[in-house]
Amino acid sequence: MDRVALRGLKARGHHGVFPREREEGQTFIVDLVLHLDTRPAAAGDDLAKTVHYGVVAEEVVEVVQGEPVDLIETLAERIAQQCLKHEAVAQVEVVVHKPDAPITVPFDDVTITITRSRV
């Protein structure tokens, strides 16, 4: 499979288990790797035969900005399912970063990485 990657998609969401996270929100960063066969698109130079990564980016931001969830695991799953709605996408790897997680010790980032494919 070929890969189309989107790195560093940023959106503000209200996800988390603590009231402050839900009320104030925070920035989430999403990285995606979309696995698909790009040969049909390349052969005909046809956007309709691949995935429109601009549309995917907008949809992912909508998910992050959408209905709050407690866990970034749930958020990652929702993002993966949205990506798999695109017919050309056979598999997706999603990384959700929560750089402002409520942790009491110094840290750089918290991430969850999931891989989902069509069943």
pLDDT tens, residue by residue, 59-75: 999 999 999 999 999 99
98 among known catalytic residues: yes
Helix (H, G, I), strand (E, B) or coil at 92: strand
CATH of the domain at 102: 3.30.1130.10
The number of domains in the chain is 1
Range of the domain at 56: 2-117
Q: Look at phi and psi of residue 64 and say left if phi exceeds 0, alpha if psi is from -120 to 50, else beta.
A: alpha
Query: Which strands make up the sheet holding 26-36, listed edge to edge?
Result: 2-13, 26-36, 91-97, 111-117
Kindly state the percentage of the chain with pLDDT values over 90.
98
* Catalytic site residue from 10, 49, 85, 98: 98
The average pLDDT across 14-28 equals 97
pLDDT of 79 reads 98
Confidence of residue 117 (pLDDT cuts 50, 70, 90): very high
Confidence of residue 119 (pLDDT cuts 50, 70, 90): confident
Mean pLDDT of the chain, nearest integer: 97
